[in-house]
Amino acid sequence: MDDKDFKQTKAEFIAQWGVLGSSWGINRTMAQIHAYLMMAVEPVDTNEIMQELKISRGNANSNLRDLAGWGLIRRVTYPGDRKEYFEAEKDVWTMFCTIARERKRREIDPALQLLQSSSKQSFKKNDPEQQLFASQTKALAEFVQTADLVLDKVARSEESKVLPFLIKRFR
């Protein structure tokens, strides 16, 4: 594969990764920046990202900030160089744990809170509608709590190096 083909393959990959990202809840540009950084051998500065992905400085800046907020990329600086560079976590299991931890915090915890507070009301025992509401919210709360717990166990960084092997055995 010659260099020209490679550049094209890579660009195509990054573009497509963005499309996939947006079919999740992730914005296209953020997914593309992440893909770009995952495939970068060395840390990259904002200008390079702007040029390669054809996006504005503001857009690059805010998506990089968000990615750093998720813990998926790190800011890197070199002594004697005032620019900031960015570098992605490249280990997929570490990435998975990071994402799991953040999603738990941002999505699971609020859901659990709503479900628990809803299910802990007092209801009329003779009203089937109230009974259903009570039992459904309770069942959902328990489910989410279980999911939470599993993610917790799985996303502890110590175990995350064992887990891949365990799971492969499990096939």
To which H or E segment does residue 74 belong? strand 73-76
State the pairing for strand pair 73-76/85-88: antiparallel
Residue 124 in tokens? 């009329």
Residue 71 interacting with DNA (CB under 7 A): no
Rounded to an integer, what is the distance from CA 60 to the centroid of its chain? Answer: 18
Answer for the pair 72, 34: CB distance below 8 angstroms, yes or no: yes
Among residue numbers 78 through 97, which ones bind its own copies (CB under 8 A)? 90, 92-93, 96
Q: Which is nearer to its own copies, 57 or 106 (CB)?
A: 106
Of residues 80 and 128, the one with the C-beta less far from DNA: 80
Q: Which is nearer to its own copies, 80 or 109 (CB)?
A: 109
Please, which residues bridge with residue 75 across strands?
86
The footprint of its own copies on residues 13-52 (CB under 8 A) is: 13, 16-17, 20, 23-25, 38-41
| Interface with DNA, residue 103, by CB under 7 A | no
Whose CA is closest to 64, among 82, 47, 81, 41? 47
Helices (H), 24-45: 28-38
**Cα–Cα distance, 75 to 73 (Å, whole number):** 7
Q: In terms of Cα–Cα distance, which of 70, 61, 63 is closest to 89?
A: 70
Residue 38 contacts which entry, DNA, its own copies, none (Cβ below 5-8 A, type-dependent): its own copies
80 binds, among DNA, its own copies, none (CB under 5 to 8 A by kind): DNA
Q: How far apart are CA 112 and CA 143, in angstroms?
A: 9
130 lines the binding site for DNA (CB under 7 A):
no
Chain positions contacting its own copies, by CB under 8 A: 1, 3, 6, 9-10, 13, 16-17, 20, 23-25, 38-41, 90, 92-93, 96, 106-107, 110-111, 114, 118, 121-124, 127-130, 132-133, 136-137, 139-140, 142-143, 146, 149-150, 153, 164, 167-168, 170-171
Chain positions contacting DNA, by CB under 7 A: 22, 27-30, 45-47, 54-59, 61-65, 80-84
